[in-house]
Structure 1
């Protein structure tokens, strides 16, 4: 993938991407509250896999070139892990709502930083460890484990964040031997196969209006991933990644406006702490990358 340096365009595309993904989450929340989560994610993955194969067929060498890898087990596991994480997160939407689920999920960059040492062997300095610790104070503020009866369901989006963090690190590890097109292809195809094997047993008829919602869900999924590809084509990841936090704001607006969710003070405070800690880790990573480039 050829990468440009048009940071303003990349930021604009990233904000648009987060809006589309927030709409996708709202559509998923609606459908998963009416139908089985596995079926909803399965249909979504069918369209995602079709999009992935269409993208691969337009590149040099076609689908065969995109599928070639020296690490098929790793690539397949990545796809299975992401599909599982999506199921867990959609389940969280139906139990906790969009606002609280996304507030907890925003800690995944901190989990990436914490796990990059043991998984990738990267060095994590004391400043980033301090930011990670502060971020998890924010998670505890949201979860409130010591306030009355603790709801174990609050751990569901935290599990999704951990799964997504591991997926991101494995993607970075896979990039040592495979290009972006190959990883993208395996993500879609392995996920679609996994969800078909799991979700086909829970098939149930959908109403006409809900099929329209499902069509919108598939369109937002495809357009969101296409825009995300464009984001990383036109700008450096470190420059645009902090703007991914806009998804929390957009999802919160959708949750408040369409699902009647409430925003508790502890959720706002905890989310603000998590976002601040995450932005600090992105800033530190960018500084370290620049210093390595100057050496």
Structure 2
């Protein structure tokens, strides 16, 4: 997952809704392609080694984008290094839990549970950012977690280490997103992606001599494909947010369930059941409503600020 901060004012004139939406859709498809390579590699390799290799190959497209759009210095310099440390730490845990879960459950099932992230973000915004959350959004959070319970079906045996790992990953991801939001006025989106990816490659790479094994050329190529897909997906998503508002592009993350079901069926022979789709529909509806409310409230704050400055 990638965090996008507010677009620079100089880029407002670059808006193109068809191109922005298409790029967002492509980005999330590429992320799903990366997840397929991760799941394939978990059969033979430890998750830290997989993440280390993935991070190594993802750095190329990220650095290329930073160099082309604003320069490496402007994009990667930081005024608040502590935020990058916290964000990178959250990224370490969220990526480990998510990738480890892929070895325990179908991709589509993991995606369905990972879509709880907007619910966690809204709930945690109160203690972390001191942002007020009204009864409408609290209600949406409650409804969303009912959807989670429907997907997990307590007592059915579906509450296992894999599903709990996905939820833990979504929780760490959410904390990381809130840290990024708090630092959006001083740090760039590219810097968060770069330092988090660099940290993952360094920390998990240090574990590889003890946990890893020499990859075959085939698997090294698979890692290269997955990491490159991750980096290119980030570039596509960041470009998308240069062309359309965040509220327009963000909901397309839910399109990943399409790719999760399709790739899971074609590559792994996994077919989700009807109950998962019912719970998923509830979670997505809750997430979209929260996004809608935050967009409406954001417009109200902007309008009030303009009135005060008039």
In 2, Cα distance between the equivalents of 1:150 and 1:124? 29
Shift of 1:53: 3.5
Aligned length: 294
Q: What is aligned with 2:307?
A: none
- 2:133 corresponds, among 124, 137, 143, to 124
- 1:223 corresponds, among 229, 232, 243, to 232
Q: Which moved more, 1:226-235 or 1:186-195?
A: 186-195
Query: What's the C-alpha RMSD, in Å, of the aligned pairs?
Result: 1.9
Q: What is aligned with 1:253?
A: 262
- 1:170 corresponds, among 179, 182, 190, to 179
In 2, Cα distance between the equivalents of 1:252 and 1:199? 32
CA contact (8 A) 2:17 2:243 kept: yes
1:181 and 1:207, CA in 2 relative to 1: closer, same or farther beyond 3 A? Answer: closer
1:148 and 1:44, CA in 2 relative to 1: closer, same or farther beyond 3 A? Answer: closer
Q: Which moved more, 1:70-79 or 1:160-169?
A: 70-79
Q: What is aligned with 1:25?
A: 35
- 1:38 corresponds, among 40, 45, 48, to 48
Q: What is aligned with 1:276?
A: 285
Matched, 1:11 2:21: yes
Shift of 1:195: 2.2
Q: Which moved more, 1:81-90 or 1:104-113?
A: 81-90
CA contact (8 A) 2:147 2:283 kept: yes
TM-score of the superposition, structure 1-length normalised?
0.92
Shift of 1:227: 0.4
Q: What is aligned with 1:188?
A: 197
In 1, Cα distance between the equivalents of 2:40 and 2:272? 19
CA contact (8 A) 2:104 2:162 kept: yes
Shift of 1:9: 2.0
In 2, Cα distance between the equivalents of 1:244 and 1:251? 12
Shift of 1:59: 5.3
In 1, Cα distance between the equivalents of 2:300 and 2:80? 32
Consecutive aligned runs of 4 or more in structure 1 exceeding 6 Å deviation: none
In 1, Cα distance between the equivalents of 2:188 and 2:159? 44
Task: Provide the secondary structure at the position in 1 that maps to 2:238.
Answer: helix
Q: What is aligned with 1:109?
A: 118
CA contact (8 A) 1:7 1:240 kept: no
In 2, Cα distance between the equivalents of 1:125 and 1:218? 40
Consecutive unaligned residues in structure 1, runs of 5 or more: none
In 1, Cα distance between the equivalents of 2:270 and 2:257? 14
1:32 and 1:152, CA in 2 relative to 1: closer, same or farther beyond 3 A? Answer: closer
In 1, Cα distance between the equivalents of 2:199 and 2:162? 28
Shift of 1:46: 1.2
Shift of 1:103: 0.9
Consecutive unaligned residues in structure 2, runs of 5 or more: 1-7, 305-310
In 1, Cα distance between the equivalents of 2:43 and 2:156? 28
- 2:152 corresponds, among 126, 136, 143, to 143
Q: Which moved more, 1:131-140 or 1:152-161?
A: 152-161
Q: What is aligned with 1:199?
A: 208
Q: What is aligned with 2:221?
A: 212
Q: Which moved more, 1:200-209 or 1:9-18?
A: 200-209
Q: What is aligned with 1:79?
A: 88
Task: Provide the secondary structure at the position in 2 that maps to 1:70.
Answer: coil
